[in-house]
Structure 1
Amino acid sequence: MPVVVDIDVMLARRKMPVGELAQRVGITPANLAVLKNGRAKAVRFSTLEALCEVLQCQPGDLLRWEPDARGQSPSGTG
Protein backbone atom coordinates (compact mmCIF):
# COMPACT_ATOMS: atom_id res chain seq x y z
CA MET A 1 0.00 0.00 0.00
CA PRO A 2 1.53 3.32 -1.02
CA VAL A 3 0.16 5.26 1.99
CA VAL A 4 2.00 4.15 5.12
CA VAL A 5 0.59 4.79 8.60
CA ASP A 6 3.24 5.61 11.23
CA ILE A 7 1.10 5.61 14.37
CA ASP A 8 3.49 3.12 15.99
CA VAL A 9 6.35 5.58 15.57
CA MET A 10 4.43 8.36 17.30
CA LEU A 11 3.24 6.02 20.06
CA ALA A 12 6.83 5.03 20.76
CA ARG A 13 7.98 8.67 20.78
CA ARG A 14 5.19 9.57 23.22
CA LYS A 15 5.66 6.38 25.26
CA MET A 16 1.91 5.83 25.07
CA PRO A 17 0.16 2.44 25.05
CA VAL A 18 -2.21 1.66 22.18
CA GLY A 19 -5.16 1.24 24.56
CA GLU A 20 -4.66 4.70 26.02
CA LEU A 21 -4.50 6.27 22.56
CA ALA A 22 -7.70 4.51 21.50
CA GLN A 23 -9.49 5.67 24.64
CA ARG A 24 -8.32 9.28 24.34
CA VAL A 25 -9.15 9.44 20.62
CA GLY A 26 -12.55 7.81 21.14
CA ILE A 27 -12.19 4.79 18.87
CA THR A 28 -12.09 1.09 19.67
CA PRO A 29 -8.71 -0.62 20.05
CA ALA A 30 -9.74 -2.90 17.15
CA ASN A 31 -10.36 0.07 14.83
CA LEU A 32 -7.09 1.66 15.89
CA ALA A 33 -5.30 -1.62 15.10
CA VAL A 34 -6.87 -1.68 11.62
CA LEU A 35 -5.63 1.87 11.04
CA LYS A 36 -2.12 1.43 12.44
CA ASN A 37 -1.58 -1.87 10.63
CA GLY A 38 -2.35 -0.30 7.27
CA ARG A 39 -5.56 -2.26 6.65
CA ALA A 40 -7.90 0.76 6.71
CA LYS A 41 -9.34 1.90 3.39
CA ALA A 42 -10.10 5.40 4.72
CA VAL A 43 -9.75 7.60 7.78
CA ARG A 44 -12.12 10.35 8.82
CA PHE A 45 -10.64 13.80 9.21
CA SER A 46 -12.20 13.97 12.68
CA THR A 47 -10.26 10.81 13.65
CA LEU A 48 -7.05 12.15 12.12
CA GLU A 49 -7.58 15.44 13.96
CA ALA A 50 -8.11 13.62 17.27
CA LEU A 51 -4.99 11.49 16.71
CA CYS A 52 -2.94 14.62 16.02
CA GLU A 53 -4.35 16.38 19.07
CA VAL A 54 -3.66 13.49 21.44
CA LEU A 55 -0.21 12.73 19.99
CA GLN A 56 0.66 16.45 19.57
CA CYS A 57 1.76 15.97 15.97
CA GLN A 58 0.93 16.89 12.39
CA PRO A 59 -0.95 14.63 9.94
CA GLY A 60 2.31 14.18 8.03
CA ASP A 61 3.84 12.63 11.15
CA LEU A 62 1.22 9.87 10.94
CA LEU A 63 0.82 9.37 7.19
CA ARG A 64 3.34 9.21 4.37
CA TRP A 65 3.24 8.15 0.75
CA GLU A 66 5.63 5.61 -0.75
CA PRO A 67 5.57 4.48 -4.37
CA ASP A 68 4.27 0.94 -4.72
CA ALA A 69 6.45 -1.90 -5.92
CA ARG A 70 4.89 -1.84 -9.42
CA GLY A 71 6.19 1.68 -10.00
CA GLN A 72 2.79 3.16 -10.84
CA SER A 73 2.27 6.87 -10.68
CA PRO A 74 -0.22 8.27 -8.12
CA SER A 75 -2.88 8.56 -10.86
CA GLY A 76 -2.48 4.86 -11.69
CA THR A 77 -1.54 5.60 -15.31
CA GLY A 78 2.10 4.83 -15.16
Structure 2
Amino acid sequence: MIVVNLDVMMAKRKMSSTELSDRLGITMANLSILKNNKAKAIRFTTLEAICEALDCQPGDILEYRKDTE
Protein backbone atom coordinates (compact mmCIF):
# COMPACT_ATOMS: atom_id res chain seq x y z
CA MET A 1 0.00 0.00 0.00
CA ILE A 2 1.04 3.60 -0.50
CA VAL A 3 1.38 5.66 2.68
CA VAL A 4 1.27 9.45 2.60
CA ASN A 5 3.77 10.96 5.05
CA LEU A 6 2.55 14.50 4.52
CA ASP A 7 2.30 15.22 8.25
CA VAL A 8 5.96 14.24 8.72
CA MET A 9 7.15 16.66 6.04
CA MET A 10 4.89 19.41 7.37
CA ALA A 11 6.41 18.96 10.84
CA LYS A 12 9.96 19.03 9.42
CA ARG A 13 9.15 22.28 7.59
CA LYS A 14 7.20 23.66 10.59
CA MET A 15 4.17 24.32 8.39
CA SER A 16 0.60 24.22 9.65
CA SER A 17 -2.28 22.58 7.84
CA THR A 18 -3.89 25.98 7.38
CA GLU A 19 -0.77 27.45 5.78
CA LEU A 20 -0.30 24.48 3.45
CA SER A 21 -3.95 24.41 2.38
CA ASP A 22 -3.74 28.14 1.62
CA ARG A 23 -0.56 27.68 -0.43
CA LEU A 24 -2.05 24.75 -2.35
CA GLY A 25 -5.47 26.28 -2.83
CA ILE A 26 -7.24 23.18 -1.48
CA THR A 27 -9.72 22.85 1.35
CA MET A 28 -8.73 21.75 4.83
CA ALA A 29 -11.03 18.75 4.34
CA ASN A 30 -9.12 17.60 1.24
CA LEU A 31 -5.78 18.18 2.95
CA SER A 32 -7.01 16.12 5.90
CA ILE A 33 -7.95 13.26 3.56
CA LEU A 34 -4.38 13.26 2.24
CA LYS A 35 -2.78 13.52 5.69
CA ASN A 36 -4.89 10.68 7.10
CA ASN A 37 -4.16 8.25 4.23
CA LYS A 38 -7.82 8.23 3.14
CA ALA A 39 -7.13 9.42 -0.42
CA LYS A 40 -7.57 6.91 -3.23
CA ALA A 41 -5.59 9.03 -5.70
CA ILE A 42 -3.62 12.25 -5.99
CA ARG A 43 -3.19 14.40 -9.07
CA PHE A 44 0.34 15.06 -10.24
CA THR A 45 -0.43 18.77 -10.19
CA THR A 46 -1.36 18.53 -6.50
CA LEU A 47 1.73 16.45 -5.73
CA GLU A 48 3.87 18.98 -7.59
CA ALA A 49 2.33 21.85 -5.60
CA ILE A 50 2.93 20.02 -2.32
CA CYS A 51 6.57 19.38 -3.25
CA GLU A 52 7.02 23.02 -4.19
CA ALA A 53 5.40 24.30 -0.98
CA LEU A 54 7.39 21.93 1.25
CA ASP A 55 10.60 22.03 -0.80
CA CYS A 56 10.77 18.24 -1.04
CA GLN A 57 10.63 15.32 -3.46
CA PRO A 58 7.61 13.02 -4.05
CA GLY A 59 9.53 10.22 -2.32
CA ASP A 60 9.68 12.33 0.84
CA ILE A 61 5.88 12.23 0.98
CA LEU A 62 4.91 8.90 -0.58
CA GLU A 63 6.07 5.55 0.76
CA TYR A 64 5.34 1.99 -0.36
CA ARG A 65 4.70 -0.58 2.36
CA LYS A 66 3.96 -4.20 1.66
CA ASP A 67 0.34 -4.94 2.56
CA THR A 68 0.35 -7.58 5.31
CA GLU A 69 -3.42 -8.10 5.51
Give the TM-score normalised by the residue count of structure 1: 0.86
Aligned-pair RMSD on alpha carbons? 0.6
- SS of aligned partner of 1:11: helix
Structure showing greater Rg: 1
Matched, 1:43 2:67: no
Using the alignment, how far apart are the partners of 1:56 and 1:43 within structure 2?
A: 18
2:12 maps to 13
Give the TM-score normalised by the residue count of structure 2: 0.97
Structure 1's consecutive aligned runs of 4 or more residues displaced over 4 angstroms after TM superposition are none
Q: Which one scores higher on RCO, CA 8 angstroms, separation ≥ 6?
A: 2
Matched, 1:59 2:58: yes
Using the alignment, how far apart are the partners of 1:58 and 1:67 within structure 2?
A: 21
Structure 1 unaligned regions, length at least 5? 71-78
Q: Deviations over 1:12-48 (max 9, x none)?
A: 0011101100110111010000011000000000000
Shift of 1:66: 0.2
Between the aligned residues of both structures, percent identity stands at 58
Using the alignment, how far apart are the partners of 1:26 and 1:63 within structure 2?
A: 20
Using the alignment, how far apart are the partners of 2:22 and 2:61 within structure 1?
A: 18
- SS of aligned partner of 1:64: strand
Residue-pair matches, total: 69
